[in-house]
Structures are given as C-alpha cells and as structure tokens.
Amino acid sequence: MIEPTRMSAVELINQMSAGHLSAEEVTRAYIDRIDRLDRSVKSFLLFDPESALTVARSIDQKRRNGEHLGPLAGVPIALKDNLCTPGLPTTCGSRMLQNFRPPYEATVIRKLREADAVFIGKTNMDEFAMGSSTENSAYGATCNPWDLERIPGGSSGGSAASVAADFAPLSIGSDTGGSIRQPAALCGIVGLKPTYGRVSRYGLIAFASSLDQIGPFAHDLADTSLLLQVISGHDPHDATSVDSPVPDYLATLEKPPERLRIGLVREFFSEGLDPEIEAAVREAVRLYVGAGATVKDVSLPHSKYGTAAYYIVAPAECSSNLARYDGTIFGHRAADWSPRTPEEAEIPPLIRMMMASRAEGFGAEVKRRIMLGTFALSAGYADQYYNQALKVRRLIRNDFDAAFADVDVLIGPTTPTAAFKLGEKAADPLAMYLSDIYTITTNLAGIPGLSIPCGLTKSGLPIGLQLMAPAFAEENLLRTARVFERQTDWHTRRPSLA
C-alpha cells in the first residue's frame, strides 16, 4: 500500500471504509510529515496534533460502532486562519487578532465537522487576506514547497502550500481577487473559487464582502468536487448565500460535458505573460481541440480596467469592514496611548487609544488599503472613484455574459508568471497587485473560477490553467477541467521536500 500522505482524499476514504487504514493511522501519518517538514515550509500558524488525534479516534470508534459517518470521515483538512473556529485562535494573519478566539463557528467549519473531517491545523495567510505572496502575514512568510526560496502565492498561501507539501489532502482558502486560484497555480494543485453565494461566508472574517468567497484546495478534481459538495449550500446566517440545489459534483465528474465550447480570453495573453506559461496554456488548448472541443477567441474588453476597479472596490469595503477593530470591543488594544506631542494631548483619550491600537495592530498593506478605501469613499470623491468602479464592475460582468452566449467555459493562464522569489515584490505594491491580473475579474463578476496544474517551467515551477464558467455552472466547469486532467499527469507531480 502507498503512503497515506500520497493518497487522495477519495482514496483515503475508500481505504478507511474498507478497514485497511484507521483514521488514527491516517492522521498520524500526516502529523509525522508535518513534524518533519513544516519547519521549512511554515504553512501552519496553529498545529494541534492532540485534538486531531482525538477526533480521529472518535471517528474510528463511531465506525466500529456502526454509527453514521459523514462524507469526509477521517480525512485531514487544513483551514485558512480567517475562518472562525470556536475557542481556537483565529488570527487572520494579523497582530490585531492575535488573541482572538471566536465565540461562534463558521458555517463551513460546522459543515466540515459534521462531515467528520479531521482538522489538522490553521494555515498562514496574508494579513486579512490582503496580498498575493503570504509575506504580509504578521507571523512570517510561508515558503513554496517546490522551491523554498519562493513565495507560495497568497493570500491563502499556507493552505495551498500545506496540500502541495502533502501535509493534508485537502484545505480551505478564501478568494477575493485570486487568493485561492493564484496560490493553487503557484503550488501546482487545484483551487476553486465558487460562484459568489455558493458557499456561506458566515464566520469568514470579512475583507471585501461583495467579493469574498470560500473554496477548496486539493490535488485533483475528484477531491475538489467532494469538498465543494460538503461546503456548498444555502445558509440563513448569510443573506448572500443562494438557495439553489447543490448538485452531486463528484457523481457527475466523469460524465463528459454535453458540449465542449471553449473561449480563449484574448486579453489574458497580454504583454507581461511569461512565454513558458503561454506555451503551457496553448498546449492545453491543443489537447482540448484533440478531445473534440471547439475553441474560439473571445474578448473581454473591459478586463484591462479590472485591477483598477478592484483596487477601489476591495479597499472601500475593507475600510468599512475593518473599522470595528479599534481596541474597544474588537482587536488588539495598545498598552499605552499617552500623548507624545502637545497636538496629541488635544485628542480625547478614547480616540488616542483607538489610534494607538490600530497603529500597532495593523501591518503596512492593511493600512494602505484602509487609507485608499477611506479616500475612495469620502464625500466629494465617491462619485469619481467608488461609483465609477461599480460601473466598470457592471461592464466586466456584461463582458462575461456576452462571452458565455457562445461558449460554455473560458480558459487562460491563472497567473502571468510562476512563483517569484521571497522579497522580490514585497516592497512594490503595484507589482504585487499585478499577480492577480487574470483572476480579479472573475470575482468582480461573481462567477466561478478554477485553477488546475497544467505544466512545469524549465526550472521546475508549477503552472496553472484557469477555467471560468457562468454563475452556478461549477458542475460543468469541473467536468470540462476533468477532460484535461484525465489526459495529463501534472496533478500527480510532487515537489521533493526531503
């Protein structure tokens, strides 16, 4: 039998239900691997082997008793640290929430717990999910398992790295502008941002509420389908979650799509796209043509405004969402807020306390976003910036609607380059923002986007293929991606981490 840490979630489930492996053995195998190797990857902020083993043993017990078991029984899963886990630290990668232990449970966490998944730990992330490299974490950066000198992507870098390194077969991330798909691409795994409203955001610490969406990471599409299935569905606690039936994604995955009409997004082959990435994507197109697909060029003319619109809308919402962290009820409170200048002495002490707490609690990128967003929403500027960005957002959505009149799935690269070096873009926010140039428009339009492994660069770094579909067409999106996965072995490649 192969090592449990090399099995997919589906394989683990089969082995456990056949009695060949216990949940405890599986969990131990992952714990050992994390113990040996996470020192160099640093994907976890919280790693709790004892609780994981306790849950695993209780699942084994339930199995022995013949009790009902959930669809993920005994499968270890890593969780991004912006999901509220009651009683457990939930830091959001920020000093601001260093001591936050949520009094309630995120809906996704509840669903995973009820599915009998085993929580193996909470993963590192860019502070409040703002970033593309996981370097904005207040707790240090995570490294890419394929090359420890490179970034894993972000903001869900810890979740992506943990699956790429086989520290868990599954993990959960969140995607506001690319934070699942971009790190999935850079770490050589599958990452899916579902349709806005497909998965409840209740208990996800908000960054930009109209864009945020929780989604799965896995090595392959079967595991992705299974995890999506478990976390999807309507939730009365989230008014934006949609009450539409959740298909059995795993059951239909092997059915070839009824139609294979693919659109190649012209604007995603712009300057700045690494030729090796372009070549891998063109190769994927050839494969689809060979599989009988019709492929045509499609234009999304407003995508060039995507990054500009996103960097108004997302900071605007963030400035509002993060206003609550002021040291009174929520967030870090400074120990000292005594005035240091005569001007400060004029400020009421309560305000000084908030100022000192926010100054200490937030990192540079979060402060930059709060200031941008506050400015964009200020009287006199809102029409010029925020309202203008909303109009662009509508036009981007219209572009997608027009494209989907003729094709079922759009494809292109997930990222313009493979993983860059740690520190390479850390001092250049604009260069960092361009990492999400191909993923951001999907969030603005609310539609699902998927990244799957489609190659390796000459220097051995993973390349991601992005597929996008109309709202709530995840089933067809996964089936279309499966056509590629079935004929390639990129998803079976692993970094050597000895």
Name the residues annotated as catalytic.
Answer: 80, 155, 179
From the list 230, 228, 225, 83, the residue with the least C-alpha distance to 155 is: 83
Which one of the spans 69-77, 103-111, 127-135, 384-392 is the region binding ligand GLN (CB under 6 A)? Answer: 127-135
What residues from 184 to 243 belong to the interface with ligand GLN (CB under 6 A)? 207
Give bridge partners of residue 121 from the DSSP assignment.
47, 78
Nearer to ligand GLN, 152 or 177 (CB): 177
Which one of the spans 49-57, 102-110, 130-138, 298-306 is the region binding ligand GLN (CB under 6 A)? Answer: 130-138
Nearer to ligand GLN, 97 or 314 (CB): 314
Do residues 130 and 318 touch, judged by C-beta distance below 8 A? yes
Type of residue found at 26: V
Nearer to ligand GLN, 121 or 157 (CB): 157
Q: Which two tokens stand for residue 80?
A: 């991004």
* Sign of CA pseudo-dihedral 26, 120, 234, 465: negative
Q: What binding mask, one character per residue, do residues 311-330 give for ligand GLN by CB under 6 A, x or -? A: ---x----------------
What residues from 147 to 176 belong to the interface with ligand GLN (CB under 6 A)? 155, 175-176
Q: Which two tokens stand for residue 321?
A: 């969402």
Which one of the spans 70-78, 129-137, 184-192, 398-406 is the region binding ligand GLN (CB under 6 A)? Answer: 129-137
- Tell me the closest approach of the beta carbon of residue 394 to ligand GLN, in angstroms: 20
Q: Which of 46, 75, 84, 129 binds ligand GLN (CB under 6 A)?
A: 129
Token pair 């695993």: residue: 56
Tell me if 179 contacts ligand GLN by CB under 6 A: yes
Nearer to ligand GLN, 155 or 357 (CB): 155
The residue count for binding ligand GLN (CB under 6 A) is 13
Do residues 393 and 444 touch, judged by C-beta distance below 8 A? yes
Give the span between the Cα atoms of 438 and 498, in whole angstroms.
33
- Tell me the closest approach of the beta carbon of residue 134 to ligand GLN, in angstroms: 10
Q: Which of 74, 177, 306, 448 binds ligand GLN (CB under 6 A)?
A: 177
Which one of the spans 34-42, 125-133, 229-237, 401-409 is the region binding ligand GLN (CB under 6 A)? Answer: 125-133
Nearer to ligand GLN, 178 or 413 (CB): 178
Give the span between the Cα atoms of 92 and 126, in whole angstroms.
8
Q: Which of 317, 436, 474, 475 binds ligand GLN (CB under 6 A)?
A: 436
Nearer to ligand GLN, 55 or 313 (CB): 313
Do residues 238 and 202 touch, judged by C-beta distance below 8 A? yes
Nearer to ligand GLN, 34 or 106 (CB): 106
Q: How many CB atoms lie within 10 A of CB 342?
A: 7
Q: Which of 16, 72, 78, 130 binds ligand GLN (CB under 6 A)?
A: 130
List all residues 6 or more positions away from 442 whose beta carbon is below 8 Å from its beta carbon. 181, 193, 448, 449, 468
Nearer to ligand GLN, 188 or 449 (CB): 449
Q: Peptide bond preceding 155: is omega within 30 degrees of 0, i.e. cis?
A: yes
Q: What binding mask, one character per residue, do residues 274-313 give for ligand GLN by CB under 6 A, x or -? A: ----------------------------------------
Q: Which of 91, 132, 224, 303 binds ligand GLN (CB under 6 A)?
A: 132
Q: Which of 121, 145, 178, 188 binds ligand GLN (CB under 6 A)?
A: 178
Q: Which two tokens stand for residue 72?
A: 């993920």
- Tell me the closest approach of the beta carbon of residue 445 to ligand GLN, in angstroms: 14
Give the span between the Cα atoms of 53 and 55, in whole angstroms.
5
- Tell me the closest approach of the beta carbon of residue 374 to ligand GLN, in angstroms: 16
From the list 111, 110, 83, the residue with the least C-alpha distance to 97 is: 83
- Tell me the closest approach of the beta carbon of residue 404 to ligand GLN, in angstroms: 23
Nearer to ligand GLN, 156 or 480 (CB): 156
- Tell me the closest approach of the beta carbon of residue 401 to ligand GLN, in angstroms: 23
Which one of the spans 95-103, 126-134, 341-349, 408-416 is the region binding ligand GLN (CB under 6 A)? Answer: 126-134
Tell me if 480 contacts ligand GLN by CB under 6 A: no
Tell me if 131 contacts ligand GLN by CB under 6 A: yes
Give the span between the Cα atoms of 486 and 253, in whole angstroms.
11
Q: How many CB atoms lie within 10 A of CB 29?
A: 19
* Interacting residues with ligand GLN (CB under 6 A): 129-132, 155, 175-179, 207, 314, 436
